Structure 1
Amino acid sequence: MKASVELRDKREARLRQQLKDTPMRPLPLFQLTGWTHFVDEKVEPPVLAAGSSPATGRKTDEQAIAYHRHLRMVPTDAMTHMQDMVVEAVHRNSGCREGLMDHVIDGPAGTGKTCLLRAMGRTAQKEIEAATDGRQQNTIPVVHITTPADPEPRVNWIWEIGSYLGLNPEPKSLAEVLEMRKHQDVTLPVNYVLETAQTRLLLIDDINRASPQHLANMLPYFDYLRDKLGISLIFCGTGASHRLHQARILAQDLTRVSEENRVRLEQAGLPTVPASPSPTALLPVTWLHPLPLHAEDQETFRKVLMGFEADLSLYRLEEHALSKHAVELHRRTGGYFKALTYVISTAAVIAIRSGSENITMKEIDAATAQLRY
């Protein structure tokens, strides 16, 4: 027991150092210490000195550059509605003994699905903790994992959850790391911790890495988490709704069951009814699309640009610096949130390093020089 506690402490110390050195790296988000840091994190813009002139050393100010490299997700009305809807579903599931529903986030790559997934998880955890008068010791309201690189073996999925919970054995040496070892099955300790820690929400990102057959092998375990432990699940990834639908058909052999039901009705002389849809086909799906800018919708894209403008911390930023170039920014990014964020954050860093402290078409041209979407 002492050895395992020491290894856990070393793991957490290493994670804290990673968060200090590179706070925006994604890896810590898939481990409890890093996720908790993300939930509590408050990203404040660098303070601008009085006047319009940058302070000495501004061009190499790592804090200012780091801030603009990682601009926050600018919420749209649709995203805010979706987030509120999913958080409410988590609360509703918590009050049910049966009938819990999963949720799916789907849409083309680069539309902000992962950002929305994490925003939902953070909001859900904050609301759960607020309802219990703050963070309770030994509780883990939210677990955030990504689909394993090799999603075929069931043990790899459990290993991802175990890694988040800190249950997997820490390698003791480089030789152990290099040694090809089969993952241990940590299903029992994972189930125990999820139950005793009162976990309410499991976020599963990058579901597009798994084929329907891979998911079919895992659905019974996810059903167990939902039906016995009362954990809501959110699946996220391009094509997630189709993959889950096909996986449910494979897992429950729904095609065969539907055909047998039709034959029984015919033999009994009863009218046949159309085949019922798969339970997964009835799941709530949040669809994200590229941000529009056309004759019927001239506001959504511009509102997002105005949100970015409010987040920028540049000395000479002109009014409507981004929104006045809305048409050109939409043409260059296609309205894809990921590409748009890249262009704006890169242009802001260029503005700091060049000393212009403003975003014009010059900075936008430089930021999109290498962009191929």
Structure 2
Amino acid sequence: MTNAWAAWLADYDTVGYQLARKAGWDAFVNAAPRPRFEVLSRAQMAALDEDARADYDEARRVWNANPPTIKTQQLTRAFEILDQVMASARRDGDKLRGSAVIDAEPGLGKTTIATRYARQVHRREYRRYGPYTADGSQRLPVAFIPLNAGATLKGINQQILEFYGHPQKDNHGPVRRPTRSTRSQLTEFAVDVVMSCQTKLIIIDDLHFVDFRHSNGIEVSNHLKSLANALPVTFVYVGVNLAAKRFFDEGLAGEQAVYAQMSRRATRCPVAPFSIEGDAGARAWSDLLTTLEKHLILADAQPGMLLTHAKELHRRTQGRIASLTNLIDRAAHLAIATGAETITGDILETALVDNAAQHLTGTA
């Protein structure tokens, strides 16, 4: 007989959204929040049979590993910047729109910021205009395009078409393989499908894979500008240390850098790690930990079980939210596996952080 937690897992186990395809993006946009389930006491857990206990523990691991998006000060500020940039999206089609660049070090939630903001845009467009355009095409308000290492002009066009599931037909009718289409054909296909689906926002993720000092990188930069010229779309670029990688000056040097168009068109959206220096920073870090600890399902969870270790958690993660959530995921797993059913100093000491956090703190 299926127990309640096995049924919950069947519906809400780890979801493998493939955001780089429209079906996966649509599933992400329309996914309902996982429903929280009852927290059992130790006595109630002891009364479960072996299968039910295993399913309950697995359901808790899935739940604990997937906290809701928290409105941190970084996310709130980024959304404010993106709202200002999107004000240009209301311009007529003959006018250029601005773009945003979410530029920061790794582990600070850049992609989360971009996808959560884009989800709001997607839902708003659907509510106002419906799922289909006037000519019957599927409306896709947002496209999410992650780049690969060594990204090229042709590769970007291919990834755009793959997101939309474009058949890549030419004027002669037959379906063409992406590798057999010319760059100009791929650009034409990309512009056509973006216009047909009335896309308003395109996210280009992992832009740090492009070397803007190399000829291929300059070519990619020029291509992105040409797409921005051709499409009534707002672009949000996401990457690691893009200013240092010469994205804004497009790899130009000296006086030429003054004429870089991207620097005039793009607005930088920095994301900083949490700092506990000063009252405001310490309070923001404490609020984050309090929100995360309320999410966890553990039999002996207590208010303050994370907050008590606020300084140590900051030391081990350097205030980076990706490292923090990794550490808390693992601590919660250990709390279940060891029977501690709460997060203690010993549990946190045993829980591993990612390699970058280990390196910076000098921990094993």
TM-score (norm 1): 0.77
Partner of 2:175: none
Report sequence identity in percent.
20
* Cα distance in 2 for residues equivalent to 1:155 and 1:20: 39
Partner of 1:221: 223
1:72-101 Cα shifts (integer Å, max 9, x gaps): 332212312321431453253133442411
Q: Which amino acid aligns with 1:290?
A: P
1:336-363 Cα shifts (integer Å, max 9, x gaps): 1111010011111222233332111122
Indicate if the aligned counterparts of 2:252 and 2:260 stay in contact, CA closer than 8 A. Answer: yes
Aligned positions of 1:180-191 closer than 5 A: 182=179, 184-185=181-182, 186-191=186-191
Aligned positions of 1:160-309 closer than 5 A: 160-167=159-166, 182=179, 184-185=181-182, 186-212=186-212, 213=214, 214-242=216-244, 243-247=246-250, 249=252, 255=255, 276=258, 278-282=260-264, 283-296=266-279, 297-309=281-293
* Cα distance in 2 for residues equivalent to 1:50 and 1:345: 19
Indicate if the aligned counterparts of 1:215 and 1:244 stay in contact, CA closer than 8 A. Answer: no
* Cα distance in 2 for residues equivalent to 1:84 and 1:295: 23
Q: Which amino acid aligns with 1:205?
A: D
1:209-262 Cα shifts (integer Å, max 9, x gaps): 110033421233323332232111111111223432232648xxx945x8xxxx
Return 354-363 or 110-119, whichever deviates more: 354-363
The secondary structure found in structure 2 opposite 1:299 is helix
Q: Which amino acid aligns with 2:107?
A: G
1:258-277 Cα shifts (integer Å, max 9, x gaps): 8xxxxxxxxxxxxxxxxx56
Indicate if the aligned counterparts of 2:12 and 2:34 stay in contact, CA closer than 8 A. Answer: no
Q: Which amino acid aligns with 1:44?
A: R
Shift of 1:329: 0.4
Indicate if the aligned counterparts of 2:106 and 2:240 stay in contact, CA closer than 8 A. Answer: yes
1:43-97 Cα shifts (integer Å, max 9, x gaps): 3254015656454334553332122223333221231232143145325313344
* Cα distance in 2 for residues equivalent to 1:88 and 1:238: 22
The runs of 5 or more residues in structure 2 that have no matched partner are 1-9, 169-177, 360-364
* Cα distance in 1 for residues equivalent to 2:124 and 2:268: 22
* Cα distance in 2 for residues equivalent to 1:53 and 1:46: 20
Partner of 2:7: none
Partner of 2:173: none
The secondary structure found in structure 1 opposite 2:351 is helix
Label 1:83 to 1:290 Cα distance change in 2 as closer, same or farther (>3 A): same
Return 69-78 or 241-250, whichever deviates more: 241-250
How many residue pairs get aligned? The number is 321
* Cα distance in 2 for residues equivalent to 1:120 and 1:51: 38
Partner of 1:149: 149
Indicate if the aligned counterparts of 2:323 and 2:354 stay in contact, CA closer than 8 A. Answer: no
Partner of 1:48: 38
The secondary structure found in structure 2 opposite 1:233 is strand
